[in-house]
Structure 1
Amino acid sequence: MGTGFDVAAEIGDGLRDREEAWAFIRRFLAAWTVALTDADGCDEAELAEAEERLGLRLPTALREGLALLGRRQDLQQQDPLRRPAQLVVVDGVLVFRTENQGCAHWGVPEADLGRDDPPVVVQTDRGEWRPFLDRTSSAFVELVLTETLLFDDDLRDAAELPAALAPVLYENFRRVGFPDHRSWCAGIEGPIRFFAGPGVLIRQDGGADLDWIHVAGQTPGHRRQVLKLFPVEWAFG
């Protein structure tokens, strides 16, 4: 597959804590798109004002994540973060991210707000809250990877993946050491998983009978190499 940033190699067996998550995000964005700057994050005054308004202390990982990339616009397309002034408690959950048409919300249960890096739940399009990821820092990593997969039409694509072609994915790309998680779409019960190779990132969305894959290339050439492997009808190909 050639050279390029390899998400699977960079994450290895998994990100052990929030410090490793923030370091990975910085490396990934610097290599794949544009390096983070201080202007990409929310400032301390915004975060303090949100805490005063809500009458609670934001978890450390949520504070750090918003301070790292809360203003980064190219990562705010599909399921954008809420700015500190938009944080809200719904059904006992502190909501910090919302699907762009309001179909789903991500947040931290109030019972877990005292933890440094608490679990995140997602509200499905049917209004049900379900577990998403076991650490807030992992949810920020997922946001960065997913927004990268869905943002640039010149570098991404998507297609239905018949079961017969699944071995092509497994044989050519390495599973990323990132936890399985579930879609906000209540009708999709299978796991979401990431795969990668040098300069290539793929997300597999499991369904009952048919999977979807979303592909992003670090360059148009990386994207073309992936599309050639799969004889399917690509959305943008």
Structure 2
Amino acid sequence: MTQMFDVRDGLEHVRADREAAWRFVRDFAHAWMEPLIDGDGFTVEDLAAAEERLGVSLPTALGEMYRLLGRRRDLTSNHDQLLHPDQLYIDARGEALVFREENQGACSWGVLLKDLDQADPEVHVMPDLADRQAQRWEPWMERLSWMAVEMVLAESLHAPQHLSDFLYEPDPACTRIVEESCERLPFPAYPARGFGGTRWFLGADVLLRDEEGCVFVRARTEEALEAVRSLLPGGWLNG
């Protein structure tokens, strides 16, 4: 299956257009999770009801994402939450349409209202700060379809548990080992500013996310996961 679907090649094509993003999501779900089927997305009527309630039109890419996989919690909401169409809301400042929230309320993702007329707009993030006056919508990812791909990959790190793990006490040498033993995936730098940085890597049947020294791993087999645990020294959450 790994030979049938090349994650790196798929991501290279995602840079071209949003249709490639949806192909990537379908291929990744088939190879690493469960295939997408009819009924995994919301209906046109569901989205139209959300638009009527909110008084805005959803960007084309947001509607396409919801119709493709909006009901698949294993691809959208294992950790953070993709809001259902009837949960979409405009933030209290009236600046953005919010469609995703961090699982403990640490931040929210949305599209600025001024960008809703774009087919595939930039996505912004707002952290939940004690000082509300300091909160700002900050650039997160340049295209919503690209964020949809990142969301699916990120949520795959949290399911199923026996194929995923988290290195919470990495050895100082961990980053170097990851860079030398795995292939860096062609994600653009994100977030655009602040919040540290995130990098993705691909190993032998394993997907890794390096985030400010912490490493999240999703494997296709238990043997591949054990190999990563042996390769990277430190405290594994489930190992």
TM superposition score normalised by structure 2: 0.89
Please name the residue that 1:110 is paired with.
113
Please name the residue that 1:83 is paired with.
84
* Per-residue CA distance 1:106-128 (angstroms, 9 max, x = gap): 10001111110000011113144
* Per-residue CA distance 1:8-36 (angstroms, 9 max, x = gap): 24323753221010000000000111000
Q: Taking every aligned residue pair, what percent have the same amino acid on both sides?
A: 41
Please name the residue that 2:132 is paired with.
none
Aligned AA (1:179) = P
Is structure 2 residue 238 aligned with structure 1 residue 236?
A: yes
Please name the residue that 1:147 is paired with.
155
Is structure 2 residue 177 aligned with structure 1 residue 168?
A: yes
- 1:14/1:178 contact within 8 Å kept: no
Shift of residue 101, structure 1, vs aligned partner:
2.9
Q: How many equivalent residue pairs?
A: 229
Which among 195, 198, 202 is matched to residue 192 of structure 1?
A: 198
Aligned AA (1:12) = E
* Per-residue CA distance 1:157-184 (angstroms, 9 max, x = gap): 111334433221011111111122139x
Shift of residue 4, structure 1, vs aligned partner:
8.1
Which among 215, 227, 230 is matched to residue 229 of structure 2?
A: 227
Q: How does 1:1-237 map to 2 (within 5 A)?
A: 6-12=6-12, 15-75=15-75, 76-90=77-91, 91=93, 92-126=95-129, 127-159=135-167, 160-182=169-191, 189-206=195-212, 211-237=213-239
Q: Any unmatched runs of 5+ in structure 1? A: none
Aligned AA (1:79) = D
How far apart in 1 are the matches of 2:160 and 2:4?
A: 17
Aligned AA (1:113) = L
How far apart in 2 are the matches of 1:48 and 1:176?
A: 36
* Per-residue CA distance 1:19-59 (angstroms, 9 max, x = gap): 01000000000011100012110100000111111111100
Aligned AA (1:57) = S
Local SS of the residue matching 1:108: strand
How far apart in 2 are the matches of 1:137 and 1:233?
A: 34
Local SS of the residue matching 2:16: coil
- 1:4/1:218 contact within 8 Å kept: no
How far apart in 2 are the matches of 1:3 and 1:228?
A: 24
Regions of 4+ moved over 6 Å: none
Aligned AA (1:200) = V
Shift of residue 195, structure 1, vs aligned partner:
0.5
TM superposition score normalised by structure 1: 0.90
Local SS of the residue matching 1:39: coil
How far apart in 1 are the matches of 2:173 and 2:225?
A: 21
Shift of residue 226, structure 1, vs aligned partner:
1.1
Which shows bigger deviation, 191-200 or 4-13?
A: 4-13
- 1:4/1:198 contact within 8 Å kept: no
* Per-residue CA distance 1:131-166 (angstroms, 9 max, x = gap): 110000011111100100122210111113344332
Structure with bigger RCO (C-alpha 8 Å, 6+ apart): 1
Aligned AA (1:225) = A
Q: CA RMSD in A?
A: 2.1
Local SS of the residue matching 1:95: strand
How far apart in 2 are the matches of 1:161 and 1:5?
A: 30
Which shows bigger deviation, 6-15 or 72-81?
A: 6-15
Shift of residue 130, structure 1, vs aligned partner:
1.6
